[in-house]
Each structure stands twice: as C-alpha cells, then as structure tokens.
Amino acid sequence: MRIGFIGLGSMGSAMAANLVKAGHEVTVWNRSPEAARALAGATAAASPADCFKGEAVCTMLADDAAVRSVILDSGALDAAAPGLVHVMMATISIPLVEELAARHARAGIGYVAAPVFGRPPAAAAAQLNIVAAGDPAARARVQPVLDALGTKTWPLGDEPTRANAAKLAGNMMIAQAIEAMAEATALTESYGVTAADFLDIVTNTLFASPSYKSYGAHIAKGSYEPAGFKLRLGLKDVRLALDAAAAKGATLPAAAVVRDALVEGVEGGLGEHDWSALAEVAHRRAGLKG
C-alpha cells in the first residue's frame, strides 16, 4: 500500500520503519525534517499534505494541539486523496475525536481511531497492541497496516470515540499502577527495605504484569531517562481521562490523586523524565529525597 506517516518521535519512527520493512511504499513527515530524512527506505515529504496522497495515512502526534495544527490548520485533510483512510494513532481528547470524525465524514475520507498500547521497544519489534474503532469497511482496508505494526488489533466497533476512551482508561490505569509502586516503595524505604528488594518481590508474585515489571524496574534503579513515555504526557492523558469522565457525569477519585502527583512532578522539573519518576514525587513527600 501507499502509506503516509506523520509524527516520527520515539514511537512513530519505529512504527514507520516497520511499515517499510513490511514492503509498503511509505512517505513520512515530521516537524523536524532530519527525522524524516533519516528513515531508510521512506520518502521524506515536504508537507503534511503530501502524506495524504496515498491509500492510507497514519498519524502519531503528541497531543490535541499538534493534531489540530498538522492535520486541520495545515490544510492536509482538505488535500486528501479520494478514498484515503486516516488512521489516527495518537492519544487525544474525546471532543477532538468527535470533531475529526465529523470533518472526515464531510470530506468523504475514512477515519479510524487506532491508539496503541506499548513502549518504544514494543513499537520497534512490531509488538504493539492496537485498539481500533471506526467504519468497518475503513478498518478492513487498513488492517494490513495495523498488522505490520502490532501483534493484535482489538476491534471496538464503529464509533471512533470508543478506541480513544479505552486508550485513556488504559493509560490512567498505568499511571495508577506507577503511583501505587511509588507510594509502596516510599513506605518500604522508610523502614529500610529498598525499592529494588520490595519490587523484586511484588512484581514476581502479586503484580507479575508487564506494566508493573517495566515501570517497577525504573523505580528499582531510580533511573528515569531516557523516557519511554514522558511524565508530562502522562499528565496530559490523565487529565483527558478526567475530562472524558466528567463529560459523562462520572468521577475518578484515584485518577485525581495521580493527576496531582503528576502536576507536582512537572513543577518539580520531572516533566521530560519517564513517568515512572512519579516515585520521586512520592519519595520527596515521604521525606526520603531532598
């Protein structure tokens, strides 16, 4: 397939490379053109609109502002080729998903929400888990694209907001898991049990799951760089989850606690660190850090 790919950060660059490896004809665009030129086997586009000229385009951008700027304000959507399917893989707000779906429908362009679960190593190994929602015909057309990027696609029906709601809920749960480990190790270290010793126990017994093991390893080592997922982006996602819940009249008390800790982390200079640096916030609160 002729595929455009927009957004070549730590996740996007690995994903686009896997599309090239799968034999697709890939055109890429990134705000920093060096990243586009460096992607072997892909064609660097001069503008986002150039990526909307094929059969499908994937976008992996940081937040609502980036999506609005690159996809809508740039005129890229207006320049889309007839029959194109846009695969939105970013974690964005529910209102923006609704707006994008409506704008694409008016333009006669397919829109599939397909955010992913997985860190950069999983992206590089094409082992992402992808939650996808949108028009069934559009999803079927881009399934070969999703197959090149992940181990499984989890279909959630024809309403794009469902995929993004699931992604926000999943990221909220990861943030809560990190906060749980952060607080637990603050307790154990107060009594002389190191984070490494405690987390070795619980991540191999009570909480032997990928998120606990992966982020627990960072906390055990006290190492939060390079960031697999930046703390400031975690704050963005938890805020989006709280906003999505509020729109339905629901409250998320635990998520609100994690949001406050993430805010404290950003204000304390940890925004560019991996979001497992929430442990630093909990340990400072416990008087274990200066």
- Catalytic residue numbers, as ranges: 167
Classify the C-alpha dihedral 49-55-59-65 as positive or negative.
positive
The answer to whether 153 and 136 are in contact (CB under 8 A) is no
Structure tokens at 268: 């304390």
| Inter-residue contact 133 to 163 (CB < 8 Å) | yes
Angle (CA) 13 14 18, round 5°: 115
Size (the chain), residues: 290
Q: How far apart are the first and last CA of the chain?
A: 54
Q: Give the DSSP H or E segment for 28.
A: strand 25-29
Find all residues with CB under 8 Å of 127, minimum gap 6, and list them.
118, 150, 151
Structural contact between residues 227 and 274, judged by C-beta atoms closer than 8 angstroms: yes
Token representation of residue 50: 């150039």
- Which whole-number Å values give the CA distances from 100 to 47, 104, 112, 255, 266, in the listed order? 20, 6, 10, 26, 30
